Amino acid sequence: MPSQSLAGKSALVTGATSGIGEATAYALADAGAQVLVVGRRRELGEQVVSNIHNAGGSASFYAADMHSSVDINSMVETAVSLFGKLDIAFNNAGIFDRMNDFHTYSDDSWDDMLAVNLTGVFRCMRTELAAMLTSGGGVIINNASTVSHRGSHRAGPAYVAAKHWVLGLTKQAAIQYVQHNIRVNAVSPGPTETPVAAPLVSQGPAAVAAALSQLNPTGKFISPNAIAQAVVYLASDAASMVNGSEIVLDGGQLALL
Q: How far apart are the first and last CA of the chain?
A: 35
Count the alpha carbons within 13 Å of 154 in the hemisphere toward its beta carbon: 13
- Angstrom CA distances, 235 to 1, 86, 92, stand at 15, 12, 14
Within 122-234, strands assigned E span 138-143, 182-189
3 state SS of 239: helix
> Catalytic: which of 26, 62, 105, 159?
159
Q: Are 61 and 48 in contact (CB under 8 A)?
A: yes
Rounded to whole angstroms, how far apart are CA atoms 46 and 28? 16
CB 66 within 8 A of CB 120: yes
Inter-residue contact 155 to 133 (CB < 8 Å):
no
> What are the phi and psi torsion angles at 39 (to 5°)?
-175, 175
Picking from 20, 52, 16, 47, the residue whose alpha carbon sits closest to that of residue 34 is 52
**Active-site annotation holds for 177:** no
Beta strands in the chain (DSSP E): 10-13, 34-39, 58-63, 88-91, 138-143, 182-189, 246-249
SS (H, E, C) 90-122: EECCCCCCECCCHHHCCHHHHHHHHHHHHHHHH
> Active-site residues: which are they?
159
